[in-house]
Structure 1
Amino acid sequence: MSATTSVESPVRLDSVHKTYGSGDSAVEALAGVSADFRAGTFTAVMGPSGSGKSTLLHCAAGLDKPTSGRVTLVGTDLKGKNETELTLLRRAHVAFVFQSFNLMPALNVEQNVTLPSLLAGQEPDRAWVDQVIARVGLSQRVKHRPGELSGGQQQRVAIARALAGRTAVVFADEPTGALDTTTAVEVLNLMRELVRAGQTIVMVTHDPVVASFADEVLFLVDGRIVTQLTAPGAEAVAATLAQLGARAKQTRGQR
């Protein structure tokens, strides 16, 4: 598995709509989202609760099928791909950090971190794996199983697993949510290093400080990208988020 890819934009969404349910109970989670995540970029996705952030992530990763529109992942159009084809594509090119850690309870920290590489038929880079485990503060816990770790430590294992394979793309949903400030900053700096090496990271977060580590922040409201900031500071992100939250509340109140 390699972070570098010849594809200029490893993740592309073109007019993606996603509707859950039908008739009167239909909910439009994404309302025609187009976004282009170029190789070697770090993008944060933000927005008020219920704005479609996680749905965008799931559609971009091929975990959820759009109702209409096109998703291209590492140069492959996902339309018409079956579950096996999608799994093989993700295994070779994509890593995930989700809020549910999805660790294998029978495996220790080191085994969980190297599992994606082994499943993809690759020999893990042991020196890099050790470095990543150290950077997330788990060097003393490599032989522990998930059940012997706190929630924050399990989150660190999930992050190390996603970053150790140096895949072309990492999708992260609130990756630092369970971490203390020091570890969170270490993880975000590690992510920035990987982006500089050619990796593409798409991260959902509600935290303006976390978002300020990204190259660009996309803001979603009611399933639409309404604005974006480039190389923003935490204050600018917080101000934009507050403004959009107030506007969304006002709009919903008028319906």
Structure 2
Amino acid sequence: MATHAVRLNAVTKTYGKHVHALRGVTVELPRGGFTAVMGPSGSGKSTFLHCAAGLDTPTSGTVHIGDTELSRMNETQLTELRREKAGFVFQAFNLIPSLTVTENVLLPFRLARRRPEHAWLAEVIERVGLGGRTEHRPSQLSGGQQQRVAIARALVTRPEVVFADEPTGALDTQTAAEVLGLLRQVVNSTGQTVVMVTHDPVAASYADRVLFLAEGVLVDEVYAANAQTIAHRMTMLGRARLAGTVGAAAC
């Protein structure tokens, strides 16, 4: 089994003739780690996540989730891979209003026409703190509770990696801290791999490793950094971008 959860090798993504979202990105994300991806607006961080998760196809280069190379797969195979090997948490909770908490969590099994593991379902719901709300519908839940449902839905299929795109962007500061603490706990207690795109240094400080993108290039990284260190790196990156010396931002 591969030691990495996700691996990108020389990945480029070009839209049209002139928009280069990613420029030769090569990186490995280890199993059981929590990686945050940051960068200025337009840096390519969302494209990075979409390519890494098989939601978008690179213009060139290769992407692996575990031992599986995504470029060799057709759209049907990619859909199956996303259901089985990837979980997703987005800023918009993407819950179905007419379904209960349990039904929303079980949606991946319903779509795949598979039977759920009921013991694991119960454990996941307890882990995210929704044990007493399984019959509630999204309209009966707070924003933080709805995001907990989304996290449970992402975990219930036992994916190789959970991809989170600005998961706390719609939450207040205290609720965001609770959700981030939950993601951190999931990594620590179950060995789950999490890859999170965020613009928030506080959110990124929950990660083991923070990658910094600028103009489609990985320019810096830090490990086990606090919010102040991460914010400083972002400030330096912004100054380098304005000065036209992004490549020197990693100093």
- Measure the CA separation in 1 of the matches of 2:146 and 2:243: 39
Change (3 A) 1:181 1:164: farther
- Measure the CA separation in 2 of the matches of 1:179 and 1:37: 27
Partner of 1:123: 117
Partners of 2:84 and 2:157 within 8 A in 1:
no
User: Which of 48, 64, 77 is equivalent to 1:56?
Assistant: 48
Change (3 A) 1:178 1:164: farther
- Measure the CA separation in 2 of the matches of 1:17 and 1:241: 23
Root mean square deviation, CA, Å: 2.0
Does residue 143 of structure 1 match 2:138? no
Partner of 1:205: 198
Partners of 1:18 and 1:28 within 8 A in 2:
yes
Counterparts in 2 of 1:236-247, with a 5 A limit? 236-247=229-240
Partners of 1:17 and 1:31 within 8 A in 2:
yes
Counterparts in 2 of 1:70-109, with a 5 A limit? 70-109=62-101
Structure 1 segments unaligned to the other structure (5+ residues): 1-5
Does residue 217 of structure 1 match 2:203? no
Shift of 1:152: 4.8
Partners of 2:125 and 2:152 within 8 A in 1:
no
% same residue: 57
Counterparts in 2 of 1:11-90, with a 5 A limit? 11-22=6-17, 26-90=18-82
Change (3 A) 1:130 1:78: closer
Partners of 2:106 and 2:156 within 8 A in 1:
yes
Question: Secondary structure of 2:153's match?
Answer: helix
Structure 1, residues 119-165: CA drift from partner, whole Å, max 9, x if none? 4523242331331341xxx5554323335555554333222322344
TM-score under structure 1 normalisation? Answer: 0.86
TM-score under structure 2 normalisation? Answer: 0.88
- Opposite residue 123 of structure 1, the aligned amino acid is E
Structure 1, residues 86-128: CA drift from partner, whole Å, max 9, x if none? 1111211110012233222331122111222454523242331
Shift of 1:216: 0.4
Shift of 1:185: 2.5
Partners of 2:23 and 2:217 within 8 A in 1:
yes
Change (3 A) 1:66 1:87: same
Shift of 1:54: 0.4
- Opposite residue 226 of structure 2, the aligned amino acid is G
- Measure the CA separation in 1 of the matches of 2:172 and 2:126: 20
